[in-house]
Amino acid sequence: MMLHPELLRAARTARRPLLRATALLGAVAVTHLVQAVLLALALAGIARGEAGALPGLLAGVLAAVLLRAALARWQRAVAVDAGAAVRTGLRDELLLRLGRGGPRNRAGERAGAVRATLVDGVEGVDAYVSRYLPQALVTCVLPLPPLIAVALVEPRAAAALAPALVLALFAPRWWDRLLARRGRQHWGAYEALSADYLEALQGMPDLRAAGAVGRVRARLDAHSAELHRATVAKLRVSLVDTGITDLAVQGGTLAAVLLACASAASGETAATGTYLLLLLASECFRPVRDLSRAWHSGYLGVSAADGIAALRTAPDAVPDEGSVEARWADGAPEVRFENVGFTHPGGTRPALAEVSFTAPAGRTTAIVGPSGAGKSTLLGLLLRHADPDSGRITLGAAETTAYPLGELRRRIAVVSQDTYLFHDSVAANLRLGRPGASDAELREAARAAGVHEEILTMPQGYDTVVGERGSALSGGQRQRLALARALLADAPVLVLDEATSAVDERREAGIVDELVRAARGRTCLVVAHRLAAVRHADRIVVLDGGRVESVGDHAALLARDGVYARLAEAVRAA
């Protein structure tokens, strides 16, 4: 019996229903024993020509069969409920852990591999917990009663059955280490293939455009063959396990049958004892055979257990130890960066060095600079995707680390250039951050983002399904819906990271004007490459090489011969 600590930990969340399922499974096994005894008595009566008790014995057999059917149905329902509780709880825990890990922790993980663990791996845990564990507990106890009964009737038969039982239960454990290694190899190949297929499906338009579909298909074929080899290697070891168990079961049963026949032929055992030996010998091994079947059903959970444990125990990107309540009397907080320094993991040069500036409460502050200047890194630190290596960031009167992580992020609405929309209606996507928003508020946010009129032209208006990742929309429409969603969230801090990069410049100017009006009273941080999107900001911070090069308004920065003026000159030249 392979008992993985991660799977036992998951099973603890449904301890009581699993114990009930185990008790019911034991009751089902007891009905088999009762049936065997009654059949033995009935056959012995027939052999002696005594048919008087036969109707009562056969009625008892029928009652045992009907009771077993009812108990089995009840047991399966309890086990299914227990498995579903474990599956749901484990998925919720893993998703929460992934959410707390942040982009910094997920950088080395492939979405397809994580999907395989969350879906297929957890399904395997369900089968392991709901079927294998109850059967394992029953198998530890139930072979003993029939073995003791056999020993009372014919000690030599018990002496033949006992070693066979020990062999069937413990000999396959010699292969557990090899089987576990083969299982990890199989699961690794399965995760890799799942990740490759997901990437191929998501990137199919680009693959077709690049003429790379054939090459990717060949790579998928190679990885599929690798998975096949890993599966066959695992099955070889598993078949050895099954072969040893079956050999012990069949050999032990055969030895007991031969001894029973010899004892009957010599007259040492009466007819009743002979039939009891024949039927109870088989019942000794019934739990072992059932355990073998349950093992093959739940083995996927054992294979995925290490991946599940890795996801569950992955460290948080940042500690969540804050306790300050996020309240600001004026409705919007001041954002302050004080000597902030940060180097990306594995980096050799700081992405930010001694960055200091203030975004006034209720005003719009733009952050500009050439590519690689550290703009997005700065916003990531504000959202606590990571914490600064030096310096501090304050929101209102407290550092960002002083607020609970969920509370901090609820107070900051973010629109990035990489917009994600779900396969749902326009209205449902807009209400993501504020489920209780009214239809009027929905339309007001859409107008401010410059997308309301286009929504009305869609087949079902705000009820139109946008497709996976917003596939039914243009890039500009996706970004404007994300802008509307952020405005609807009504957070006191609004962060726009290249939020209008997919919108043409003519429309961008109108959207920016609407945003300035709609965001009045909020603290806004705007990152943009196109200076038209930031020229009306109350304050502009210019980053260069991870440092603050200058701070001022549009006119003042143009008057200086600095980075901002050179960026403006490059725009005019283009």
Residue 483 belongs to a domain with what CATH number?
3.40.50.300
Instruction: Judge if 281 and 382 occupy the same domain.
Output: no
Per-residue pLDDT of the chain (574 residues), as tens digits, is: 577 888 888 888 888 999 999 999 999 999 999 998 888 888 888 877 776 778 888 899 899 999 999 999 999 999 999 989 998 888 888 888 887 765 544 545 677 888 888 888 888 888 888 888 898 889 888 888 888 888 888 888 888 888 888 888 887 777 777 877 888 888 888 888 888 888 888 788 778 888 888 888 898 898 899 988 988 888 888 777 778 888 888 888 888 778 777 777 776 667 777 888 888 888 888 888 888 888 777 777 888 888 888 888 877 778 888 777 766 555 688 899 999 999 988 788 899 999 999 998 888 888 888 888 888 889 889 988 888 999 999 988 888 888 888 888 888 888 877 778 888 898 998 888 788 888 898 888 888 878 888 889 888 889 989 888 787 888 778 878 888 888 888 788 888 887 666 566 666 666 666 666 666 778 888 887 767 777 778 889 988 888 998 888 888 888 887 888 887 777 666 5
Instruction: Judge if 367 and 468 occupy the same domain.
Output: yes
Distance between CA atoms of 426 and 413, rounded to whole angstroms? 18
What are the distances in angstroms from CA 351 to CA 282, 380, 388, 548?
A: 71, 12, 11, 12
Nearby residues of 397 by Cβ (< 8 Å), 6 or more positions away: none
Residue 461 lies in a domain: yes
What are the distances in angstroms from CA 570 to CA 28, 106, 512, 525?
A: 81, 36, 21, 23
**Range 561-573 burial, b when 16+ CB lie within 10 A, else e:** eebbeebbeeeee
Q: CA nearest 513: which of 422, 465, 450?
A: 450
Domain CATH code at residue 67: 1.20.1560.10
- Which strand ranges, in their side-by-side order, compose the sheet holding 352-359? 352-359, 335-342, 390-395, 398-399
Residue 550 lies in a domain: yes
Residue 54 lies in a domain: yes
Residue 361 lies in a domain: yes
Tokens of 297: 């059903």
Distance between CA atoms of 497 and 378, rounded to whole angstroms? 11
At residue 217, φ and ψ (nearest 5 deg) are: -60, -40
Q: What confidence score (pLDDT) does residue 104 get? A: 47
Residue with tokens 């401010």: 448
Instruction: Judge if 193 and 118 occupy the same domain.
Output: yes
Instruction: Judge if 362 and 278 occupy the same domain.
Output: no
Distance between CA atoms of 317 and 384, rounded to whole angstroms? 8
How many domains is the chain partitioned into structurally?
Answer: 2
Instruction: Judge if 73 and 162 occupy the same domain.
Output: yes
Distance between CA atoms of 135 and 294, rounded to whole angstroms? 7
User: Could you say which of 297, 312, 327 is where a domain stops?
Assistant: 312
Instruction: Judge if 261 and 353 occupy the same domain.
Output: no
What are the distances in angstroms from CA 535 to CA 150, 496, 526, 529?
A: 93, 14, 11, 11
Residue 318 lies in a domain: no
Range of the domain at 414: 335-573
Instruction: Judge if 281 and 358 occupy the same domain.
Output: no
Neighbours of 204 (CB within 10 A): 12
Instruction: Judge if 261 and 341 occupy the same domain.
Output: no
Instruction: Judge if 397 and 286 occupy the same domain.
Output: no
pLDDT digits (tens, 9 = 90+) for 180-197: 788 888 888 888 888 888
Residue 330 lies in a domain: no
Instruction: Judge if 246 and 106 occupy the same domain.
Output: yes
Residue 211 lies in a domain: yes
Instruction: Judge if 131 and 35 occupy the same domain.
Output: yes
SS3 423: coil
- Which strand ranges, in their side-by-side order, compose the sheet holding 523-527? 412-416, 493-497, 523-527, 364-368, 539-544, 547-552
Instruction: Judge if 130 and 189 occupy the same domain.
Output: yes
Sign of CA dihedral 74, 80, 84, 87: positive
The torsion region of residue 254 among left (phi > 0), alpha (psi -120 to 50) and beta comes to: alpha
Tokens of 245: 């168990």
Distance between CA atoms of 173 and 295, rounded to whole angstroms? 13
Residue 324 lies in a domain: no
